[in-house]
Copies of this chain bind each other. A is one copy, B any other.
Amino acid sequence: MIEQPVFIDNLKKVREKSPLIHSITNYVVMNYTANALLAIGASPVMAHAREEMEEMVSISSALVLNLGTLSNKWIESMHIAGKEAKKIGKPIVLDPVGAGATFMRTRTAHIIMEEIEPAIIRGNASEILAVAKSVVSTKGVESTVAPEDVIEIGKELALKTGSIISISGKTDYITDGKNVHIIEQGHPLMGRVTGTGCVASVLTAAFAAVNSDYLSASTCAMMAMGNAAEQAGKEASAPGTFNYKFIDALYNLGK
């Protein structure tokens, strides 16, 4: 587990270094994830044109590949950016949004796992199950499988791929295949705001940009999510208010 002082130390590093996080991500969450990165002290850039992928990767500190609202053009750009990031050693976070829901998404996740070898894969239980087994059908992008049921598969997946596996849900599980970190924080209203999982992925990239122990970085990100959600939940009883209170809480973390 990560102790609170270690989390605060990682948070300070994010704020001091303000790492530039390059996301190739879905249209639905771009604004929200950019605002979450700014709130916690990092810097966002969204870009997808293949012509500028290498340059964007070279000036960024981490890369997020998010499979929501996928298209073939964007998959190409993900591969160009991912290969460049891998070559020059920048951490890559794969968010397999909707893996298991369609063949296109499951296959794209598999190919990225094989060819890009992301440092971290973060998804909900059904998505992780889908990228691990490719045999379970999920209901869209919502999680319908309990994290507990997939943690063992997550550990196997981590050992086989070398990626940190971060499984989000009521309880979050983060594993390198040997150790399992468990986060019990959070709030039910997170499930009523679109893109909270995607925010978890960009925050994971922000911590990975300043902490090369990716198990620790992934856990810090989920602690940031959990802490901010609990704070927002104290001040909100409905998702519209929760939405902006959560951004406020990310900004106020540790203050």
Chain A residues close to B by CB (< 8 Å): 20, 26-32, 34-35, 38-39, 43-49, 51-52, 55-56, 59-60, 68-73, 98, 101-105, 137, 139-142, 191-195, 238-241, 243-249, 251-252
Contacts and interface: CB of A to CB of B under 8 A. Distances in A.
A238 B41 CA distance: 12
A142 B59 CA distance: 12
Contacts of A241: 244-245, 248
A39 B140 contact: no
A38 B248 contact: no
Contact of A35 (B43, B72, B73, B243): B243
A192 B45 contact: no
Contacts of A29: 31
A102 B57 CA distance: 10
A39 B72 CA distance: 31
Given A45-B101, A51-B102, 11 more contacts: A31-B31, A35-B193, A35-B240, A38-B191, A38-B194, A39-B238, A43-B139, A47-B69, A48-B71, A49-B70, A52-B104
A22 B51 CA distance: 26
Nearest to A53: B102
A106 to B, nearest CB: 10
A239 B39 contact: yes
14 contacts: A20-B140, A27-B30, A28-B34, A31-B32, A34-B195, A38-B191, A39-B239, A48-B71, A59-B137, A240-B248, A240-B249, A240-B251, A241-B248, A243-B244
Given A47-B70, A194-B35, A56 B248 contact: no
A245 B238 CA distance: 9
A138 to B, nearest CB: 9
A45 B98 contact: yes
Contacts of A104: 49, 51-52, 55
Given A31-B29, A140-B20, A244 B240 contact: yes
